[in-house]
Amino acid sequence: MKQAVVLILMVATCFGSTVKHQRRFPDDFVFGAATAAYQIEGAWNEDGKGENIWDHETHTNPTVVIDESNGDVAADSYHNYKRDVEMMRELGLDAYRFSISWSRILPTGFANEVNPAGIAYYNNLIDEMLKYNIAPLVTMFHFDMPKKLQDLGGILNPQFSDWFEDYARVVFENFGDRVMKFITFNEPKEYCILTLVGVGSDVKDPILNSMDVATYLCAKNLLLGHAKAYRLYDKEFREKYGGQCGITISVSWFEAATESPEDQEAVELRRQGEWGFFTHPIFSAEGGFPKELKEALTEKSAQENYSCSPLPDFTEEEKDLIRGTADFFGVNHYTAFLVSAIKKESVLTLPNVMNILDNFMFADDEWPKAASSWLTLAPNSIFKALSLLRTLYGDPIFYITENGWSTYEGRDLFDDDRVQYYRASMESMLNCLDAGIKLKGYMAWSLMDNFEWMQGYTERFGLYEVDFSDPARTRTPKKSAFVYKHIIKNRYVDYEYEPENMTMTIDEGH
């Protein structure tokens, strides 16, 4: 009898200690997945939706997309939203981040004409999610500018921030009673620099090809729009609904290639030019664009015979309007780069405003590579990025609002590289939590395969595969979906776990 008790105690101690050393996510850590309207919805001209710049550009200039595809049908989530929610339940998600198509609810972009069918679609989606306790995180602008507004200059029109504020009011009025987290803009830099329909890219025929001037004007107007929407929420909706409003900025990790002072300086400038010119105005105590970036641009512009820097200044009033306008910091984090002052062969040639500042970025050869040219799996990069942001910006509340891995098109249900990437991200987030960083949640990109902008359907990011040749757009879970589900359920990373079979079910309580 005594021996049996000792044995039980030993087993319990061993078991206890394993459990104790297993790093876990707290129960209130929010696990979710993300998508965006143009990339999944389809129904591009149904039920009164207006045209947006992606509709227009892909129809009139199809070769801008690598496989000449478009989002006319995409994953057809407009008609399949119930299946989408079912997938969320299968995964056991706490939250789902999706975006509202501005021109679906305001066909011309202006708030004087609201499309009831558009409002109904998002109401249905939100209500369906809430039935199963899945919290909506709503992005208000994910690259799909209404065409009518673009005709007037889009984000470069000085009135843009007011149009955005009007749109935000419609969003808050219609959905604010049930949505507790709003994200004003997704990835400002990518909109202002990289996307075809942004204003700076020269990758493919752009609407405008004005890297320097347009990019910074876009930044200024976007930040003003963000700030006006935030202030509006604060003034008229926060008390009534008690929700939050933030922004999502893409923050890759940039590391100096060597310890040389030149590379140290290069990486500093690169960080500011990649994300600092959006994060600094909102999150720093000082406000406005980063000083070093301003100085570097002024110097560079003089060398290039401009009379002044392309970076517009904010008035003191504008600085105050923008500073502090985020209840949380949404970070899209995917990848990392080494930065050098000296050109290397492997340098990435993505269009980038920092090219004018003469520094170069490339990936380490050792880091596993995804299908997307810019995406690698670099060690512990979430932790490194958030640690720096915490130091710079006084301990904000973070959500990873996107993180994911691309594979080439074709059936890839056994996506072990994606599984490896997600597990590495989990470890890096656990490092954040151990260090006391206020990281509250994580949205995997993406719930399902979708239209990857200029890469069309050639690069796939989904936890669920979508069969784009099937009119029903059937969704099938990949191995990564099972692994993610296991992590969410158990709140730790189990490297031994392998799905028994690839059959997905909904667990009790979901």
Binding site for ligand NOJ (CB under 6 A): 36, 39, 186-187, 332, 402, 445, 452, 461
Minimum distance of ligand NOJ from residue 421's CB (angstroms):
13
Distance CA 392, CA 241 (A): 31
Distance CA 64, CA 74 (A): 17
Supply φ then ψ for residue 55, to 5 degrees.
Answer: -60, -50
Per-residue tokens: 250: 């893409």
* Residue in the block written with tokens 């290039």: 304
Minimum distance of ligand NOJ from residue 422's CB (angstroms):
15
Whether residue 402 lies in the annotated active site: yes
DSSP 376: B
- Which is nearer to ligand NOJ, 198 or 396 (by Cβ)? 198
369: β partners: 376
Of 165, 187, 274, 465, which residue is the catalytic one?
187
Per-residue tokens: 383: 């932790």
E strands, 284-359, in order = 329-332, 336-340
**Measured CA angle at 375 (ends 428, 100), to 5 deg:** 85
Minimum distance of ligand NOJ from residue 183's CB (angstroms):
11
Distance CA 335, CA 60 (A): 33
Of 165, 402, 409, 452, which residue is the catalytic one?
402
338: β partners: 255, 362
* Residue in the block written with tokens 């989904």: 462
Minimum distance of ligand NOJ from residue 75's CB (angstroms):
13
Q: Is the peptide bond before 446 cis (omega within 30 degrees of 0)?
A: yes
Minimum distance of ligand NOJ from residue 105's CB (angstroms):
19
* Residue in the block written with tokens 């995917």: 334
Whether residue 187 lies in the annotated active site: yes
**Is residue 329 within 8 Å of residue 398, measured between CB atoms?**
yes
Residues identified as active-site? 187, 402
